[in-house]
Each structure stands twice: as structure tokens, then as C-alpha cells.
Chain A
Amino acid sequence: MSELTNIISETTNRLLEAYTSREQKHASEAGEWPTELWQALEQNGLTQPLVPESQGGVGTTWSDAFVIAFAAGRWQAPVPLVETIIASWLLSQAGIEIPSGPLTLIDDGHTLHINGDTISGAAAAVPWGQRATHAVAIISINDQPHVVLIPTSKITYIPDLSMAREPRDHLSASNAAFISAPITNTADISLVRCAGAAMRSAQIAGAMQAAIEITVTYATEREQFGRPLAKFQAIQQMLAVAAAKSVEGRMAAEIAFRTIDQTNADLSKAEFDTASAKVVCSEAVEAITDTSHEVHGAIGFTQEHDLHFITQRLWTWRAEFGSESFWAERLGRSILSRGAKNLWPDLIARQSGA
């Protein structure tokens, strides 16, 4: 780890630990916006790590952004941190001035249509939609991908909540004003989905680690039949399996971010590893949530205990920006079209940073 990465990791974890207590998370679940947490993240540059310094950001690597997203998952930060990181990056790529406040992403730009200088259409389950000052999407205008910035004041949102009681609002826009600029980074308008999948993978990996930690601690402290749960072989074996899947997920996510760096953030070239990360992480959610709830028993099933903050987010994140089936199908189609004899050489070429 570089020195900068260490500083980013240390700062992010310190801030998130301080501002994500059980009380603060309960307040968020009740609809309160964590003003202090967001201010602290902004002041430390953690909302714009990928924006170049010349445009007011930190100008760090995607591997460093992994550290932030992982921590956001590990502490279940109740804010659209990764959405803002990606939205700011997209705006900076297109040379659009980045507005203040939390931003959100529209996963699939196909559902919005440009008509002259206004935009119309709908998007379901926009993360923190109403809480964000603006929404960012990639939309094709005259066959050229554009970054589009829509102020929340021009959007109608029907509020909804994820299982973790985080806003997932349904957007509709009718002849809304917007700002746009072409993006040269890619010819692929699924850029948001790809970047979002990388971020959600990192968050899942962080939350899985939190689930393992909290469950190991519980198993060590809780006594049944005269000894700690941890001393039962059945518990040991279950947790070992879950921990292994969690570690595999983290590896897949970390590799995806490294590949994005190696391809100079051309996500169309990093799609394979990003897709793999989302497949591996989303798949692992089942085992990690099963095991952590089983070991915790009834207390883990309550609002009083912290476990639900983790598992409710895992169940949400696994589907967002493409489920494991969505990404597996894309991977599978490309593999089947390349044929068996190219499988191994292609894998090696891709993983050699070529």
C-alpha cells in the first residue's frame, strides 16, 4: 500500500467509525440526513477522489477509491458516497463543473430521452434520489455518449426505500432542463452501470468483512451449553466457509479496481474484471448473510442489533448496477463466442494488464 492509500484508508475508516454509530444509523433509517458525516467526508476530499486536482478533486487512483468504497461498506455509511464519487468523476471527465452536495447516478440512461434542450423519462429506484442535489446519467445524443446533469429541482421523485431504509426514489422527468457534455472516455453508454458495479462490489466486500467480524465476535462471547459458540465445530466450519467467500469477494473487487487503473479508466476494457467482481461478490451475499444470521440466532433478527444494518444492505447491493446473473450472462456470452481454445490465453492476456 502506498503512503497516500494508507492515509486515505486511515482517514475514511476513522471518520466513518465516528459518524456511523448505531444511534446515527437508526436516525438515518428514520429519514434524518447525517449532515456532520457528509460535511466531514466532503472536507476530507473523500467525495471526489477521482476528480483531477486541477478540477478541485484529489486526483487519486481507482485503487484508492476502492479503499473508500470498501470502508463505506464496512461501516454501512448511510450516504450516497460512492454514487457521488462516480458522478463527480463523470462530470470531471466531461468538463462539467461539479455542483456541491451529494449526487446520485441513473443506472440505465436508456430510459431517458432528450428532446431539444429538455429531458424526459423515468428511472426506478434511484439511490438517495431526493437527497441528492443532482442526478447524473450517460445518454446518447446524436450517437455520442454524453454526461447529463439534471438538477433535482427539475425532477419529480416518488419516494421509496430499500430494505436497509435507504432512499431508492422513483424518478420521472418531464421536459426537464439539463446540462450535458460529450464524454470521450468511452463509446459505451453502460459506463455508469460498470462503474457502479465496481463500487457496489467494493461495498459488498466491506460489508461482508463487517458481517464476519461481528459474527466472530458474537460467537466468541456468546456461551451456550457451557462454552462459547466458537468452540463448536459446526460453528467453526460454517464461519470458515463464509470467511473464505468474503475474502474471495474482496480479492475480485480489488482486482477490478486495479484493472480500471491499468486501463486508464477505460471501463469498456475493464468490463471483464468488473463483471467478475460483481458476480463473485453478489453471489457471496447469500452465504455470508445465511451464516451471520444463523450464528447470531434471534438477536440478529432484531432492530436492536447491528447485524441488520449489514445484511439489509448486502441484499440490496447485490442486485444494484447489475445482479450476478446480469453480469454472468455478459461474461458467458463473450466467452462462448470466443470459444474454448481462447479461454485460457484470453484470461492470461487480460490479467497481465494487456
Chain B
Amino acid sequence: MEDIHFTPGVLPPETAALRTRVRKFLAEHLSDYPSVKRAQSWSGSDRKFSKLLGANGFIGMTWPKKYGGGERSALERYVMLEEMLAAGAPVAAHWIADRQSGPLLLNFGTEQQRQRFLPAITRGESYFCIGMSEPNSGSDLASIRTRGKHTKDGWRISGSKIWTSEAHNSTYMIALIRTQPQDQKNRHVGLSQFLIDMETPGITIRPIQNMAGEAMFNEVFFDDVLIPDDMLVGTEGGGWGQVTTELAFERSGPERYLSSIQLIYELIHELSKNPTERSAIGVGRLIAHLGTLRQMSMSVATMLEAGETPNLAAALVKEIGVGFEQEIPSRAYELTGRVPLLGDDNDFDQVMAYITQSSRSFSLRGGTREIMRGIIARELGLR
């Protein structure tokens, strides 16, 4: 068993000025934003706000300047992100493009693709979604069946994707498509990634209402959709390797422990009216973990900045961070004894009602808890 541990991360001094700038920006543009909207965190979509972020250089911060990026360090981006999330800024519209699609194109895209897609992302004008999961293909991603067939005009795609967040608001999807028949012996070959313009004929988007009453994710149908050859990302058949490269980025960011932060604020606000020993203990325990999780997440960011691929560390952050985010509603209930009604118009009850329901997805998105634990178990030498 290898020695698993996190080296404490260090934020370079230049991040302090950036943090001040981000806070000033948020104070200026988000001061009247209601708590229950802030509680949506990185699921809250606002194109106008995304464009404002783009104009201020807060999207594609680490990317090369020639593609509209800021050539800042990953740790500077980290600081910007954690401030946005701590404030509950509506970052969902550009979130996937900034976190995953842009870096994917920088890693595997052609020069022509980078020039074509990246600048609009950094302006906050082009939005992406990820087409991975399919009906009957939940955690077992390698079993997907949406087919891409090569023809003389390009790729013809048929099938469907499900649980696609923000598909209805997106300009493009980056979809994982089976371009070779399934090989049971080597399940990870034969998958390819495509850029798909969501306006292409043959695409139907069906919104799916979640239990909190929102329509944020969708089912997307492809009926013989024609995709030009130059929309293939990276290698034909090499999609699996490309997808897994993204995961360390996807699993360790501050969004993996800050999704319930608005409820923590509301809880502290409620309990500070009349602090008791019990409420102090309850809050103290939560904040001990909050501070530690931030250090773990920053440690991964430092490793990523150093060019490492800390997949295990990222899985550990997600395992612990998601557990933390998800227990907040129960702790809030325990400490206040309150169950909100949907008609309650105060911030605590509204945020409580929202996070109690929305938090069920926290341990599903980005790889379920059980998948994370499987990754950790493998690193422990158990699998």
C-alpha cells in the first residue's frame, strides 16, 4: 500500500490581489442576489452574468492569450472559483466550457478547433454541455450505445444521452460516441469524442424535471445527425483516455465541498440568534471539516499546477467533500428541528428546502460515491 497523503498546498502571493478583485466584482454585481438563488451555486445559470465574467477575464483564465485566455496559473483560477462559489454566483452557463470543454480542446483539439471555439467561451458567449450518460448506462460509461458511423459527408450519429445538465442552454455538446463495435474484452476502446452544434437538425432536447422542481438536466435524442469530420476531438477510438484525463480536474475543485455553503451561512445566521452548547458543537464540527476540505482541495490544485495527475487525491476530495455537502441539510435539521414548507418566505427555510432536495444529486454527478470508493480501494491495493 502506498503512502497516501496530501502535501499542504500554498497559494502564491499574487492570488491575494486577485481575490480582492473578485470580491469587489461580486459585491458590485451580486449584492441584491437572493439567498435561494445563491444556493443553486454552480447549477445556477445566467448568461448575462457569464458575459460579465468573460468581459472581466474570469473565464479561461489559464488558457493561452492567443485563444482569449488570461495565461494565469491554475491556483489563481482556483481562488477566483472558490470566491464565486462561496458567494453563490450563477456560474452554470459557462461552467462546463470553462472547467472541461476548453481544457479538453487545449489538450486534444486541433489548432483550427481551438481558434474556432475557445475565444467565444472566454467571452462568456458560448456554452457547453457534456453528453456522457445514456439510458441504461449510468455509472457503466463504457457500455454506451449511441453510434457514430462514418460516411462520405461526415459522421452520422444516432442514439440518445441522458442527465445532460444545461443541454437546453448550450451552444455545443461534447459527446462520447461509440464509433467502433463494442469489444467485450477491451471495453474502453472504440469510443470517440465529438463537438456537436446543438442547432444541428435531428437533435431533440427533452427537459427532465428534477425533484426540486427544476428543469436543469435533459434527455437529448440524435436522429441520424450529421456531424462534419472536423468536429471529431482527438483520436477516433481514443475517447476513453481523453475523458479520464479530465476527471482529476472534475473531481477535486472547490465545487466538491462548497455546494451547500449557503445553507451553512443560513444555519449560522439562525443559530447565532441564541447560541447554545449544542448548536456551538454542531457548527464547530462542520467548520472543522470545511477548513480541512479546503486544504485538501487546494493541495490537489497545487499538484495539478505542478503537472501531476492526482487521480486518487481527487477521488478522496470528492468522497469526503460530497459527504460533507450532503450531510449539511440533516445537520441543519438536527440543530434547528425545522422542516421547511414551500410557502415559507424566509431565507433559511427556502435554502433548506432547496438544498435538502438538490443535495441528493451531489453524490451522483461526476461519478457516484461508490465509483469513487472503488477508485480509492484500487489504490489501496484491494482490487
A interface, CB within 8 angstroms of B: 209, 212-213, 216-217, 219-220, 230-231, 233, 235-237, 239-241, 243-245, 247-248, 250-252, 254-255, 258, 272-273, 275-277, 279-280, 283, 324-325, 327-333, 335-337, 339-341, 343-344, 347-348, 350-352
Contacts and interface: CB of A to CB of B under 8 A. Distances in A.
Interface residues of B, number: 51
A352 B266 CA distance: 25
Given A240-B377, A333-B280, 10 more contacts: A237-B377, A248-B292, A248-B316, A248-B320, A277-B292, A279-B288, A283-B285, A324-B285, A331-B284, A351-B291
Interface string B328-356: 00000000000000000000000000000
B211 interface: no
Contacts of B265: 340-341, 343
22 contacts: A213-B1, A216-B1, A235-B382, A236-B382, A236-B383, A240-B380, A243-B380, A244-B320, A247-B296, A248-B316, A251-B292, A252-B291, A252-B295, A325-B281, A328-B282, A328-B285, A331-B284, A332-B283, A335-B283, A337-B272, A350-B291, A352-B11
Interface stretch (B155-163, B220-228, B244-252, B368-376): B368-376
Contacts of A272: 291
Interface stretch (B2-10, B37-45, B132-140, B301-309): B2-10
Nearest to B291: A276
Contacts of B213: none
A194 to B, nearest CB: 15
Contacts of A277: 288, 292
A340 B266 contact: yes
Nearest to B296: A251
Contact of A344 (B86, B277, B292, B374): B86
B289 interface: yes
B284 A327 contact: yes
A260 B215 CA distance: 48
Interface of B: 1, 3-6, 8, 11, 16, 19, 86, 261, 264-266, 268-269, 271-272, 275, 277, 279-285, 287-296, 299, 316, 319-320, 370, 372-374, 376-377, 380-383
A156 to B, nearest CB: 35
A333 B281 CA distance: 8
Contacts of B284: 275, 279, 327-333, 335
Contact of A339 (B269, B288, B289, B377): B269
A191 B52 CA distance: 49
Contacts of A351: 291, 294-295
B198 to A, nearest CB: 36
Contacts of A279: 284-285, 288-289
Q: Which of A233, A240, A272: most chain B CB closer than 10 A?
A: A240
Given A236-B373, A243-B4, A348-B19, A332 B280 contact: yes
A254 B287 contact: no
A335 B268 contact: yes
Nearest to B23: A345
B287 A335 contact: yes
Given A244-B376, A352-B11, A328 B288 contact: yes
A340 B11 contact: no
B287 A276 contact: yes
B268 to A, nearest CB: 4
A173 B281 CA distance: 34
A324 B376 CA distance: 27
B287 to A, nearest CB: 6
A328 B373 contact: no
Given A240-B376, A340-B269, A348-B19, A255 B285 contact: no
A335 B282 CA distance: 11
B285 A251 contact: no
A336 B279 contact: yes
B160 to A, nearest CB: 30
A81 to B, nearest CB: 21
Contact of A244 (B1, B275, B282, B319): B319
Contacts of B269: 339-340
Given A239-B382, A333-B280, A247 B4 contact: yes
B80 to A, nearest CB: 13
Contact of A220 (B8, B288, B295, B381): B381
A315 B305 CA distance: 39
Contacts of B372: 240
B226 to A, nearest CB: 43
B296 to A, nearest CB: 5
Contact of B268 (A216, A330, A339, A352): A339
Contacts of A273: 291
Contacts of B271: 336
B380 A340 contact: no
Contacts of B292: 248, 251-252, 255, 276-277, 280
Contacts of B16: 352
Nearest to A219: B382
Nearest to B4: A247
Nearest to B318: A244
B316 A247 contact: yes
Contacts of B376: 240, 243-244
Nearest to A258: B8
A339 B272 contact: yes
A336 B272 contact: yes
Contacts of B373: 236-237, 240-241
B5 A247 contact: yes
B272 A340 contact: yes
Q: Which of A216, A217, A235, A335: most chain B CB closer than 10 A?
A: A335
B272 A251 contact: no
Contacts of A252: 288, 291-292, 295
A317 to B, nearest CB: 17
Nearest to A1: B7
What 5 A-B pairs have minimum CB-CB distances, sorted nearest first? A332-B280, A328-B284, A332-B284, A331-B284, A236-B377
